[in-house]
């Protein structure tokens, strides 16, 4: 069953990457509307969260906002598929760094930098920032399908990024060293701050009028390894075009 699922995903992926960009976005809009209005995938939960976060918003406006979010999620997936056709030069033009001068001195001196970000815009696109800086990315492996995991990992590292599992980072932290992360070259260590953490192991912050647990991992890594840490703020400039600011 896992092999069949993997082959189906590969087939669909291979077909979609041949489509022109405008057609992928049109398809993404149709799929987003279908998922929200026809299949109603997680619709009740999404609208409940929006009602809690924006109590004064008109109900119709919340529905419109939720539908737009579904469309954007599918668009993000289509962008990732189409990005496999981008050259290094095109990737640099589409993904721009606003202030690289903050990071480059550390890398030039041989010191790695911890980069902390949240699930904003198309977060999986950040693996392509390896065209600007050496990148090491913590990721969660697909445990249920090893073939799928290896394929996705190869796609995300095609521009030179190195991927390491979150569990491996934890193991290295317990040893108070990270040889597998540092290696011989300075690199950007990208960590996602807003994965779901257990309340007992995270710290609680108000997020859209709800108390949510956040991981302490980025701070622990930076302190134990004596590394500088920056927050990376992404911004979507247009379809398939992003800017990033440290």
pLDDT single digits (tens) 232-246: 999 999 999 999 999
Q: What pairs with residue 114 in β-bridges?
A: 189, 229
pLDDT at 196: 67
pLDDT tens digit sequence for 51-94: 998 999 999 999 999 999 999 999 999 999 999 999 999 999 99
Report the distance separating Cα 102 and Cα 113, nearest Å.
Answer: 11
pLDDT higher at 40 or 202 = 40
Comparing 167 with 37, the larger pLDDT belongs to: 37
Cα separation, 202 vs 212, in Å, equals 9
Let me know how long the chain is. Answer: 246
Q: Which residues contact 216 (CB under 8 A, 6 or more apart)?
A: 201, 202, 203
Identify the DSSP state of 111.
Answer: -
The CA distances from residue 98 to 122, 128, 232, 241, 245, in Å, are 17, 16, 11, 13, 5
Name the 3-class secondary structure at 187.
Answer: coil
pLDDT of residue 178: 56
Specify the range with the lowest mean pLDDT, choosing from 14-18, 74-78, 211-215: 211-215
Q: What tokens were used for 85?
A: 């056709």
Supply the mean pLDDT for the chain: 88
Which tokens in the block code for residue 202?
């995270």
Pair type for strands 241-245 and 233-238? antiparallel
Phi-psi region of 40 (alpha: psi -120 to 50; beta: other; left: phi over 0): left
Give tens-digit pLDDT for 144-175. 889 999 999 999 999 999 888 877 776 665 56
């Amino acid at each position: 069953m896992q092999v069949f699922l993997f082959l189906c995903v590969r087939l669909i992926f291979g077909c979609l990457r041949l489509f022109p960009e405008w057609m992928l976005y049109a398809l993404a809009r149709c799929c987003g509307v279908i998922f929200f209005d026809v299949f109603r995938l997680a619709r009740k939960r999404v609208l409940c969260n929006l009602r809690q976060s924006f109590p004064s918003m008109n109900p119709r406006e919340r529905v419109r906002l939720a539908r737009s979010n579904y469309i954007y999620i599918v668009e993000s997936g289509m962008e990732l598929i189409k990005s496999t056709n981008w050259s290094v030069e095109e990737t640099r033009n589409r993904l721009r760094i606003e202030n690289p001068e903050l990071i480059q001195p550390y890398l030039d001196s041989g010191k790695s930098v911890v980069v902390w970000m949240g699930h904003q815009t198309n977060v999986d696109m950040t693996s392509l920032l390896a065209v600007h800086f050496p990148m090491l990315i913590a990721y969660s492996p697909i445990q249920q399908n090893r073939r799928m995991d290896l394929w996705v990992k190869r796609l995300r590292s095609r521009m030179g990024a190195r991927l390491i599992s979150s569990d491996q980072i934890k193991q290295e932290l317990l040893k108070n060293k990270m040889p597998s992360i540092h290696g011989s070259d300075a690199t950007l260590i990208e960590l996602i701050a807003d994965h779901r953490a257990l309340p007992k192991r995270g710290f609680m912050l108000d997020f859209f009028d709800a108390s949510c647990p956040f991981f302490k991992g980025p701070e622990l890594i930076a302190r134990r390894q004596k590394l500088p840490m920056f927050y990376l703020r992404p911004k979507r400039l247009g379809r398939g075009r992003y800017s990033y600011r440290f």
